[in-house]
A = this chain, B = another copy of it.
C-alpha cells in the first residue's frame, strides 16, 4: 500500500507548484494564493504527506527536545513524585509537537549548567524548577525567550490560597497553636505559604512556629518530633506537602498523640494516597500535571509564561 515516503518535492510536483510554495503552505507561514494553497493541501492529503520533523527542525534551527532542569542539591531529587509527575505530564503534552523531554538535575550553583543548556543546539526550550528569586532574571542570553519556570514566577499553584484555606479552617475549628512545616528557604515557591501563615498568626495573635522541611516524609517525621519537643502544646501541624504530612502522622502516632483530637494535621498536594492514609489526610489540591503542561507550552512560546492554578481544600479526617 504505502510505497516510498512522500516528501515535500512529491507534494509540490503533484500540486503543480514549486517546493518553496508547498513549504510555505504546509509550514503555515508565508504567502500563497488560495488556488495553490488548495492544490498543495489536496496533494498532501492524497499522498499522506507528513513532514520530517528532524529535517524541519534542522532547517529552522530550532531544537527537538525540551529539558526539564530541576535545581536541587539532593542527588535523588529526580525520584521525587513532583518531578516524575511533571516530567510525565510534559512528555505527554509535547508529544503532539514532535518534541521529546529530557530530565536533568542541576546544582544550586547552576550558572555553568545553564551555560551548558544554552550551548546545546539540540534544545528547543528549557523548563526550570527549583529556582530562587535571582535565577530567572539572569539567565544566559541563549536561553532567554525559550525558558519557562515551574513555581514562583512561572506556572505555579496558588499555594497561598490553598494553605490559607486550610489554616483558616484550623483556626475556625478552634486551633490556636498551629505549627507550619514549610519548604526549604532557598526555594522561591516556599515563600507564599509562609507568608499567609505568618499573616494569620500575627493577625490572630497566635505564636509563629515554622519548621523547614523538604517535601519528603522523612523530614515530616523529624519535623514533627522537633515540634513536639520544642512546643509541646501545639494543637495543629500544617505541612506544605502530603508526603511530609504522612511522616508527621507517623511520628504523632508513635508518640501516642491522637489525630485530630490532640493535634490536627493538614497536608498539601492531595496525592492519591492521601485518602488512603489512616486517618485520611485533609489537604489541598495541586494540579501538577496542568502546571507542568502549561510550563512546557510556555517554554515553546505556545502559552503565557506565568499563570496561577487554583488549589482547593479537601477536608477528610485529620483536620
Binding site for B on A (CB under 8 A): 2, 5, 50, 52-55, 57-58, 63-68, 78-79, 81, 83-85, 87-88, 91-92, 94-95, 98-104, 119-122, 217, 243, 246-247, 249-250, 253, 272-273, 276-278, 289
Contact = CB atoms under 8 A, between A and B. Distances in A.
Contacts of A243: 272-273, 276
Nearest to A121: B52
20 contacts: A5-B121, A50-B120, A50-B121, A52-B58, A52-B121, A52-B122, A53-B120, A53-B122, A54-B57, A54-B64, A58-B58, A64-B100, A65-B99, A79-B88, A84-B85, A87-B88, A88-B88, A88-B103, A101-B102, A276-B277
A121 B53 contact: yes
Contacts of A102: 91-92, 94-95, 99-101
A54 to B, nearest CB: 5
A121 to B, nearest CB: 5
Contacts of A277: 276-278
A86 to B, nearest CB: 9
Given A58-B58, A65-B99, A91-B101, 11 more contacts: A53-B121, A64-B100, A78-B88, A79-B289, A81-B84, A91-B91, A91-B102, A95-B103, A99-B100, A243-B273, A246-B273
A281 to B, nearest CB: 11
